[in-house]
């Protein structure tokens, strides 16, 4: 458990360091605590107790309790069972508003849906959050299997095509600031060392797209490319196709790859048109 009187360093969702100490350097400690509670509940994917939240975010039990009471009144959190808390309906409204208030251009949404229909596979949109991929959108094609990704879910970037596509946009210093040995392992095929990752990312830049060879789910693979992401703090997002491993092996399914590259070009053209008309906001 993190004592509120002791200075600690917590890694935020962007990969930057946040300092906590007894004097509370935040200008609004309650607001900071409330935000950390919402992020912790979103990441947990399940209800958490007051004690679990206190330990997880490194805040005092009194502050966490007071913040929970306020969040509960606003329906941003809901109490369930034996004094456990989960995200409330208002949190869903906030998340849904993000997807509709211009943060994700309609052209990306339409292109991703069309890509799922044309390929018959699962398509995803994601951004980098620290060393993980945050999934913002997902569509299932008619032949798609159940996949690991879910909207709002996060997975290690080093284990997925979409994550490696995003990591390939970083400089060496930026990469080493967020990814460290040993790398997380989701399957025996997952990349385990930084040296191997750096070679993989160099190959990704050279070929122009990233490949997942059973590194997140056994027997499943993926292809991914980056796209510009206007109106968001992230400079890039990435789109991906998830399919059976045989379609992304040494002999890539040229039709599947072609559909993905065409989708990227379509998005890039529409982004450039938007920039010309209204500027890069």
Domain extent listing, the chain? 8-92, 102-278
Give the model's pLDDT for residue 101. Answer: 58
Query: Quick check: bond before 182 cis, omega within 30?
Result: yes
Q: Where are the alpha helices (DSSP H) in 5-81?
A: 29-44, 50-57, 61-73
CATH code that applies to domain 8-92: 1.10.10.10
Give the model's pLDDT for residue 20. Answer: 44
The residues with which 9 forms a beta bridge, in sequence order, are 19
Structural contact between residues 153 and 135, judged by C-beta atoms closer than 8 angstroms: yes
Give the model's pLDDT for residue 144. Answer: 64
Q: Return d(Cα 201, Cα 183) in angstroms, integer.
A: 14
Give the model's pLDDT for residue 55. Answer: 87
Q: pLDDT tens track of the chain, all 281 residues?
A: 333 333 333 334 334 334 444 444 546 788 888 888 888 888 777 888 888 888 888 888 888 888 888 888 888 888 887 788 888 878 777 776 666 655 456 778 889 999 999 999 999 999 998 899 988 889 888 766 656 667 778 899 999 999 999 999 999 999 999 999 999 999 999 999 999 999 999 999 999 999 999 999 998 899 999 998 765 566 889 999 998 888 886 666 788 999 999 999 998 888 777 666 665 55
- The CATH H-level (homologous superfamily) assignment of domain 102-278 is GAF domain (3.30.450.40)
Give the model's pLDDT for residue 51. Answer: 85
Give the model's pLDDT for residue 116. Answer: 93
Task: Read off the pTM.
Answer: 0.69
Give the model's pLDDT for residue 114. Answer: 94
Q: What is the DSSP letter of 150?
A: -
How many residues belong to the chain? 281
Give the model's pLDDT for residue 8. Answer: 32
Q: What is the DSSP letter of 36?
A: H
Region of 130 on the Ramachandran plot (φ > 0 left; ψ -120 to 50 alpha; else beta): left
Q: Return d(Cα 103, Cα 100) in angstroms, integer.
A: 7
Give the model's pLDDT for residue 184. Answer: 94
Give the model's pLDDT for residue 12. Answer: 40
Give the model's pLDDT for residue 75. Answer: 86
């Amino acid at each position: 458990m993190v004592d509120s009187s002791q200075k600690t360093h917590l890694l935020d969702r962007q990969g930057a360091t946040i300092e906590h100490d007894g004097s509370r350097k935040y200008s609004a400690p309650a607001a900071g605590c409330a935000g950390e509670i919402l992020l912790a509940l979103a990441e947990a994917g399940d209800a958490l107790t007051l004690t679990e939240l206190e330990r997880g975010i490194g805040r005092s039990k009194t502050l966490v309790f007071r913040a929970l009471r306020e969040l509960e009144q606003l329906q941003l959190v809901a109490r369930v069972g034996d004094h456990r808390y989960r995200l409330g309906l208002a949190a869903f409204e906030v998340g849904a508003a993000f997807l509709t208030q211009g943060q994700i251009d309609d052209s990306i949404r339409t292109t991703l849906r069309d890509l799922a229909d044309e390929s018959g596979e699962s398509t995803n949109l994601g951004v980098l959050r620290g060393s993980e991929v945050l999934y913002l959108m997902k569509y299932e094609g008619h032949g798609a299997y159940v996949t690991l990704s879910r909207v709002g879910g996060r997975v290690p970037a080093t284990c997925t095509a979409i994550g490696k596509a995003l990591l390939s946009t970083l400089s060496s210093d930026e990469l080493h600031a967020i990814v460290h040995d040993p790398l997380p392992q989701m399957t025996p095929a997952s990349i385990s060392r930084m040296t191997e990752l750096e070679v993989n990312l160099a190959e990704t830049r050279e070929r122009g797209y990233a490949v997942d060879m059973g590194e997140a789910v056994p027997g499943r693979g993926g292809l991914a490319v980056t796209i510009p992401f206007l109106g968001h703090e992230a400079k890039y997002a990435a789109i991906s196709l998830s399919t059976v491993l045989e379609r992304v092996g040494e002999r890539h399914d040229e039709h599947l790859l072609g559909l993905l590259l065409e989708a990227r070009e379509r998005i890039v053209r529409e982004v450039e048109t938007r920039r010309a008309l209204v500027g890069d906001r």
